[in-house]
Every structure is written in C-alpha cells, then in structure tokens.
Structure 1
Amino acid sequence: MNQKQNKPNVIVFFTDQQRMDTTGVHGNPLGLTPHFDRIAQEGTHLYNTFTCQPVCGPARSCLQTGMYATTTGCYRNGIPLPPDSRTLAHYFKDAGYETGYIGKWHLAEHEPVPLEERGGYDYWLAANLLELSSDAYNTVLYDNDCKEVKLPGYRVDAQTDAAIRYIDAHQEQPFYLFLSYLEPHHQNHTDNYPAPDGYEQLYIDRFTPPDLKALGGSSPQHLGGYYGMVKRLDEALGRLLDTLKSLSLLDNTIILFTSDHGNHFKTRNGEYKRSAHESSIRVPAAFYGPGFMQGGQIREMVSLLDLPPTLLAAAGIEIPSHMQGRSVMPLVRREDTDWPEEAFIQISESQVGRAIRTKRWKYAVIAPDLNGWNDSSSKHYVETLLYDLQADPYELTNLAGIESYRTVSDELKNRLIIRMIEAGEEAPTIHPAEPRAAGQRRVSIEELRLKL
C-alpha cells in the first residue's frame, strides 16, 4: 500500500451532550458502550476530561481552533467563527491531508453554510443547526454546493453511512475526518430524546446516576431515550472500526472520541447544561491508534482545549504557538511534565461564570449583574459553588460561604485568577460568598497542609 508516506489518518468521533457516566469505563452498568470501552482500554483513556465551555457553539470553537471561546469571540451560541480563524482543517490540509466534515457544525451564520464559513474543510456534508434541519428519521444535510441532501435511516446511521463512504473513497490519501453527531442531544422542537425505535423501552428505569436520583429533573422522562441514543452511537463507532479494519486502515488511523459537554437533565438550571457541575462539564474521551495503544488511563485534568494540539502532535504536525491548550502526548508517554493541576471552565448564556476543577475540589464564581448572552466576561465575580468531590462526588452539598472552608476557597480563588489571566482575561475581583455557619463540616489541619 502506498498509503500516505506513513501519515496516520485522523477521525474525530464527536457526540453532543454526552455524560461521561454513560460509558462502562465510568461505571455505567447497562452495557451501552462496549466499543468505546474497548478503545479506552486498549488505547488511551483520558479519565478526567472537561469541556472548557458547557454549551454547543463555544465548545466547538475551542475544539476547532485550540483557543478559548473568549479569545475567538465565540463565547455563546449564535456567534460565527471569525472568517480568518485557523482551524484543525487548515493545519491538516497544509500537512497534505484531505479534510472532511460530516454532521453538525454550529459555528456559522447561515444555513446552508457557505464555503467561507466552513472552517477550511474540503469535503462538506453538514448542517449548521442539525437539530433544526433534521429529525431522528429525517436526516437533512447540505453538500459542498449547498444543495440539500436527505440521507436514509436513523440519523446516527445516516451520518455513519456517509462517513463510511468517505473513508472508502479516501483509502489512498491521508485524511482527517470530523464526524459530528447530534445525538444524544435532545430534539429541540419536541424537547425529547428520540432513540431508534424500540431502544428507549430497553432502558427505562434501569439505572439512574446518583445526582439524578437525588435531584430528578427531567431524567425520569428522558433517560431511557438518552441511553438508547448512546447505545446507537456506540454501535456506529463499532461500524467505523469494522470499516477501517476491513480496509486495512485501522493500524494507521488515529481516532478521538469525545463530546462537547454533558447533560444535567434540568437539575441545576432550567435546561440541560450551562453550569459548572460535573454533569455539565465532564465528558468521555479516549484516543485510539498509532501513538496511543496501551497508553493506559490518564488521571490528570484534561481540557477539551488540549485535544486539538494533541491531534496535531500525534500526526507529526507542529503545534501553532497561539493554541492555548497543550498536547497530552507527554502524559501518554509517561514523561515528566508540569501539567496543570486544575481544569479551567468558562460559562456563558445562563450566566457569566468561571470555574476550576481540581482532583478534589470544584470552585465556581459568577458575575451576578451581567447577562450571559450579552457579556463574555467581567471584572467582578462572586463565589457561588464549592464542592468537596472526595466527600461529595455528586455535588449535593454546596460548601460556598461556610467559614471553616475559607482557607480552601481563598487558595482556589487565587488559582482561578491565575488561569483566567493565562486565558487572556483581565484579573478580576472575586467577592466571597455570604458567610454561613459550618455545623459539623470543616477541613482538618492535616488536609490544609496537602495540595488542594
């Protein structure tokens, strides 16, 4: 095979609004994700992966550019990617790759998406707002000529079929394919989770994560369909792996599986994301293929922003100096590195918020007088959330303002400000939460001597 002068193919398998605890490697007992679990176990599992913005468009801007949403300006939905933005497609194209995009884009101003708003991708079969252009059994995308294309089958299968055709047609060239599913995102106009026929019934009242069991939200209504969608996505991943194996491409293809954000099922606010909670910000993520096999489980805090430079590094492409994430390849190779001890999250639309997540703690602030749709950042914030994830992994007891945790909050505040400055933001003033009595809760002297 003359394939590619040893350049690996690259496929990004991107889901929408998928909680990490839908996967078997994160403890889900329903067997929804055997293919994801396998690539995580045989490849490299990024156990602690967090979105840098828990809403669709901003998270996608970060993954395409390797820069924070406040840097590109795409801090909320509805702001298109600036036309001069350099995306992963540009870097792979410059390195001799064919580039393709299939599915949901959510970074354009127009529908169909014109050439100049496609982020540099050569092959195009996509919709800017797939949740509006299609339904579960009515998949409508647009091609390179902006012509409407209706694909047969359940939406996950329709997109997977298109991806298989793309792979089959590009066996002799190195290719970079971004495959962006809508599932398991809700169908907007009906506010439900339409699984393939017969799938929802398999998972009704089978397993409810503890945060949803405690807080409810819309999970009794929606969890069965949501799980059914996750199951079909994993079957699609299995079909892609089978395709690559049958074409003798599997050993020379890097696969990244991840999602843009999670889903708290209306337990933390009036919709499904846009909060600093684990259910909103923590996502499944794994790499498979050359450079990642037997990489094991990585426990460091990894951001969605770290995935673009990782893809470039794994393909042997120089990482642009302006990218604000960092490659995880040193972690995969178990090299010494000064990896950050926290993940940094910006939150928009529902609030102007910022948060960090350490191994043990979650600390979040908001700008109470600003509108998260109109304002991207603030000079003044107030503490709103503090969770001890060691004692309270499902974030059911907010410790913000408890006086015995003041030392912890002050340390986390300083670390948050440092991360905000590193992201290009102005150093803010952060006001403490309203003090309240501790009751029995306190941090021991021994714990205060340890790193937070």
Structure 2
Amino acid sequence: MLHYLKKHSRPFLSWHLLLVGLLVLNTSCNDAKKKDTAVTAVTTPTKKPNILILLTDQWRAQATGYAGDPNVKTPNLDRLASESINFTNAVSGTPVCTPFRAALLTGQLPLTTGVFMNDVQLNPDALSMAEIFSEYDYHTGYIGKWHLDGHGRLQNVPPGERRQGFEFWNGNECTHNYNHSVYYDNDNPERKIWEQYDTFDQTDAALHYINDRKAIEDPFLMIVSYGTPHGPYHTAPKSYRDRFNPEDIKLRPNVPEKSQKRAKKELSGYYAHITAIDDMIGKITQQLKDDGQWDNTIILFTSDHGDLLGSHGELKKQQPYDESIRVPMLLKLPANKKIAPSINKTVVNSEDILPTLLGLTDIAIPSTIEGTDFSPNILNNEELDNAALIRSIQPFGSWNRNRGGREYRGLRTPRYTYTRDLNGPWLLFDNQEDPYQETNLIGNEKYATIQSELDTQLTQRLKTNKDEFLPGPEYVKKWGYTVDKTGTVPYTE
C-alpha cells in the first residue's frame, strides 16, 4: 500500500483507510460491550469476485448469433448472453485499438491520456486498473494483445511500470500474424511464438491461470485479449474457414453493390475467426464452472471497436457508423448479486468500464477516473436514456484524410447518432426508424428540434470535458507525436 500511495496519492484512499480504521475501532468497542454475551454471531466475509475480461479486436456488435446475425452461430456466447446483462448500445468512443485500451485501463478520456491514435504509449505513471485492484488483494494477469507501449509491435513490454501493474504476463504489443504469433512470458525477455493459432494457445494459457488460482483465497483480475477477428480475415484454421462460403453470406442492406463481392469474401473469414473465439469462450466458461469459480466471477465480454466490412461502402473502423462504434458487451455477475439476465439499452462507453467494475466490487473510485459508474443502475435493473461521446481526434491509418478521414465529435444515444465535423453538423441518424443508418437527417425539418437538442447537448459535453474540438494536428503537436504524411504514427516491428 505504501508504494501505491507514494506513486498515486489520492484523497479517496486516505478517506478509505480512515473509514476502515473507524470501523475497526467501532467493532472493537462493540465487542467489549458484548463480552459477557452467551452467544456471539460470527460472520465470514464474502470473498471479492474474480474479474475476467474477454477482449476481442474489431468485433462489431451485430456479428453474433444472439444479436441476430444470419451468417454465424455463436452457441457459447449465446449461452453467456442468456446468463448476462446484454448492453446492446455499448460503444467504443474512439473506435480504434490503442485509444480503447487506454480508456479501459484508466477510465479516462483520450484528450486526458493523449492516447487518441494507435502506436503511442500510455503514460507509465497513469493510474491503471491493475494497480487499483492489486491494492485490494487482487492478483492481476494479462494474456494477448496489449498495443499500449509504442516501442515496436514485436518488442517486449518489460516487467515494471510499462505493464501498468499487471503481474502475470503472456503478452505481445501487437501482431496480426495469428499463426506465428509473438509473445513474452512473464520475466523472460526472450521472444516466444505461440505454437498454434494464437487464439487457441492464449485460451490454454488462460485455462492454466484460472486453474492455478482456484485454491488461492485472493481473487484475480485477468484480461484475455484476442487479436481476432481483426484482419487478415482468412487466417483461422481451415476447419473454421471451410464453414463459410462467401457466396452464401447474407450482407447488411447498407452494403452498396460495388462493395458486395469484397464484403462477402472478407466476412467469410471474419466469421471463421469469430467461430473459433466462440469455441474458446466455451472452454473458459466451462473451466470456471468445473473449478467452482463460476458463481463468484464477473465476466465482461467486449471488443475494442467494430468493423464496417463494406457497410456504407467503407472498411474497418474510426467512422461514426454503428458497424464501427458499436461493440458487443455482456456482463455476467456473481450469483450473490441476484441480478436476473436482461437486455439493457443504456449506452456504455469505453471509459465507463473501469468505474463500473470498481462499483460492482465495492472499491472506491479514484478521482482520476472520468467515466461513469453504472453499477447502481445495474444493481437496480435500470435503463438510462443517456448519451455517449464518440469522436475522431486525428484521422489516420485506414481512414486517413486521403481516404475521406476527418475529425468529428458526436453523441450516441439509445435512439440517435449525431455528429459534427469541423465545418458543422455532419450526420444525424434515427437508429430506431433507420437501423442501417441509410438516411442522413441533417437539415430535415421533421428532426430540426432533435438536431438542435443534440447539438446543444454535445456543446455542453465538450465544454465540460474541456474539449475545444481543434484540428487533429493541433493535438498531435501538443503531445509531441511524429506522424507521416497521412497523419499516422509510424510503427516498427
């Protein structure tokens, strides 16, 4: 605790320790008064729940059996959904890899951390998820894709502050070579290669970790971070690829004719990766049940962003369309919470995950965290008609300016998506009446009041967050990043 206080002195910890001291003192006094009582009630403290985060890469919310995708079967996820709260409006507020991961670990906004593009480093001094939970006797572990270090995609993230407090480590910075996948094992600086398709080996590592922890009193926080179903799409094992014929793929109605052939081909591989992950999730959930850890484990299944895959004639991520920003999010709670599985339309954003997990485990939320704690709403079975901020701070990579990329700020509510770019209002969709977002309602008289209300709300949110909505290069300059001619941070292997 002293090391933690020295590095991250926070008022909430001081008050927490004072409160614990007062409670102990009060308990001692009460015990003294009851000294002569014949029968003394003894209570056993409830063990804090394990937390298992199953994180995938580029998995859009629409692409599961339980979400109604006609092409893919995900029986294990469907089963998990039947035992979970399904947040159908979960979003990735900055829909690209590194910014999501920084928000997940810190509960902070991208203009606070400076992590608004890929291949930049999250400040090692940031107060992270692993550091917070470890101070409450959680053992912490990380398996798979990290993408927060910025020192080269195949390089080791050495033990210490650059691992942001995680103890157990079978991680890699970033690779998409899933059949020759680099990783580093705990304190060993030697580069290793997973022997199989890495989704399989990372799952086995998670199974060993879970099994090793079953007889240990302290709870665990484990993130299993898969690199798939991110492209390259046709690299899942052949037995999975053979299940999907491109000609049989049913496309979303918003895929234009010019994009359909490519979309069908890529989706056939995308679904192969998804099916493989679904099988692995089945193995992990079964292990938890076999080990007797299921009832006392929180499981969060989600993704860092979605994938357009031809919708709106576009590819990959960063854009404000639902295929890009909406992610699957299932939250399975411990049995003692006695919360029935449900579908919840509250809009949950990337930075909301950490404070909500802290709330669900009765851990005080540090003042550094900017996300919203939805645990009271979850425990009261409430839905909120709220709004999440979505943004592109600096377009880059697959959506750089040469490919139509632009800065935007916007809101995603349970019903509407509203964005404006540097020139003013850009997109407005009524997602209830137009679920495939095919009709832009900017300037539509029928929606003039809605547009005005959302614009006012967006202005207020930006003001609250001290977001001046400047051109991307201003933020690149502020944070001292080096970018190439497309505005992308170059990376090395």
TM-score (norm 1): 0.84
Residue 365 of structure 1 is matched in structure 2 by 420
Aligned-partner residue type, residue 334 of structure 1: N
Q: Call closer, same or farther: CA 1:126–1:183 in 2, change over 3 Å.
A: same
Q: Shift of the alpha carbon at 1:15?
A: 0.5
Residue 165 of structure 2 is matched in structure 1 by 120
Residue 139 of structure 1 is matched in structure 2 by 181
- 1:13-412 alignment, distance < 5 Å: 13-110=54-151, 111-115=155-159, 116-131=161-176, 135-144=177-186, 145-171=188-214, 172=216, 173-187=218-232, 192-204=233-245, 205-212=248-255, 216=259, 218-268=262-312, 271-290=315-334, 291=337, 293-334=339-380, 339=384, 341-347=386-392, 348-349=394-395, 350-367=405-422, 381-412=423-454
Aligned-partner residue type, residue 226 of structure 2: Y
Superimposed CA distance per residue, residues 332-387 of structure 1 (whole angstroms, 9 cap, x where no aligned partner): 223668x46212112242322111112322111122xxxxxxxxxxxxx4221111
Q: CA RMSD in A?
A: 2.3
Alignment: residue pair count: 406
Moved more, 166-175 or 55-64: 166-175
Q: Shift of the alpha carbon at 1:67?
A: 0.8
> Match for 2:461 among 416, 419, 424?
419
The SS at the match of 1:202 is coil
Would the aligned equivalents of 1:9 and 1:176 in 2 still touch at CA under 8 Å?
A: yes
Q: Shift of the alpha carbon at 1:206?
A: 3.2
Q: Shift of the alpha carbon at 1:147?
A: 1.9
Aligned-partner residue type, residue 58 of structure 1: P
Task: Find the aligned partners of 1:122 and 1:174 in 2 and give their Cα distance.
Answer: 13
Would the aligned equivalents of 1:11 and 1:253 in 2 still touch at CA under 8 Å?
A: yes
Would the aligned equivalents of 1:103 and 1:130 in 2 still touch at CA under 8 Å?
A: no
The SS at the match of 2:66 is helix
Q: Call closer, same or farther: CA 1:36–1:421 in 2, change over 3 Å.
A: farther
Q: Call closer, same or farther: CA 1:292–1:57 in 2, change over 3 Å.
A: farther
Identity of aligned residues (%): 34
Task: Find the aligned partners of 1:146 and 1:351 in 2 and give their Cα distance.
Answer: 40
Residue 9 of structure 2 is matched in structure 1 by none
Q: Tell me, which stretches of 5 or more residues in structure 1 are unaligned? A: 368-380, 430-452
Would the aligned equivalents of 1:295 and 1:333 in 2 still touch at CA under 8 Å?
A: no
Superimposed CA distance per residue, residues 202-243 of structure 1 (whole angstroms, 9 cap, x where no aligned partner): 223233223236673631220011011111111111100111
Task: Find the aligned partners of 1:389 and 1:215 in 2 and give their Cα distance.
Answer: 24
Would the aligned equivalents of 1:139 and 1:158 in 2 still touch at CA under 8 Å?
A: no
Aligned-partner residue type, residue 137 of structure 2: G
Q: Call closer, same or farther: CA 1:45–1:215 in 2, change over 3 Å.
A: farther
Task: Find the aligned partners of 1:393 and 1:82 in 2 and give their Cα distance.
Answer: 39
Q: Call closer, same or farther: CA 1:198–1:397 in 2, change over 3 Å.
A: same
Q: Shift of the alpha carbon at 1:427?
A: 7.5
Would the aligned equivalents of 2:385 and 2:413 in 1 still touch at CA under 8 Å?
A: no
Superimposed CA distance per residue, residues 313-340 of structure 1 (whole angstroms, 9 cap, x where no aligned partner): 2222112233121222222223668x46
The SS at the match of 1:330 is helix
Task: Find the aligned partners of 1:329 and 1:265 in 2 and give their Cα distance.
Answer: 34
Aligned-partner residue type, residue 162 of structure 2: E
Residue 36 of structure 2 is matched in structure 1 by none
Q: Shift of the alpha carbon at 1:273?
A: 0.5
Q: Shift of the alpha carbon at 1:32?
A: 2.3
Task: Find the aligned partners of 1:96 and 1:23 in 2 and give their Cα distance.
Answer: 35
The SS at the match of 1:212 is coil
Q: Call closer, same or farther: CA 1:335–1:167 in 2, change over 3 Å.
A: closer
The SS at the match of 1:95 is coil
Q: Tell me, which stretches of 5 or more residues in structure 2 are unaligned? A: 1-43, 396-404, 472-493
Q: Which has the higher strand share?
A: 1
Q: Shift of the alpha carbon at 1:245?
A: 1.2
Q: Shift of the alpha carbon at 1:88?
A: 0.6
The SS at the match of 1:20 is coil
Would the aligned equivalents of 1:362 and 1:386 in 2 still touch at CA under 8 Å?
A: yes
Moved more, 327-336 or 388-397: 327-336
Q: Shift of the alpha carbon at 1:399?
A: 2.2
Task: Find the aligned partners of 1:259 and 1:38 in 2 and give their Cα distance.
Answer: 18
Aligned-partner residue type, residue 140 of structure 2: T
Would the aligned equivalents of 1:46 and 1:298 in 2 still touch at CA under 8 Å?
A: yes
Would the aligned equivalents of 1:215 and 1:267 in 2 still touch at CA under 8 Å?
A: no
The SS at the match of 2:358 is helix
Q: Which has the higher helix share?
A: 2
Aligned-partner residue type, residue 237 of structure 1: I
Q: Call closer, same or farther: CA 1:333–1:408 in 2, change over 3 Å.
A: same
Task: Find the aligned partners of 1:301 and 1:292 in 2 and give their Cα distance.
Answer: 23
The SS at the match of 1:283 is coil
The SS at the match of 2:204 is helix
Aligned-partner residue type, residue 88 of structure 2: Y
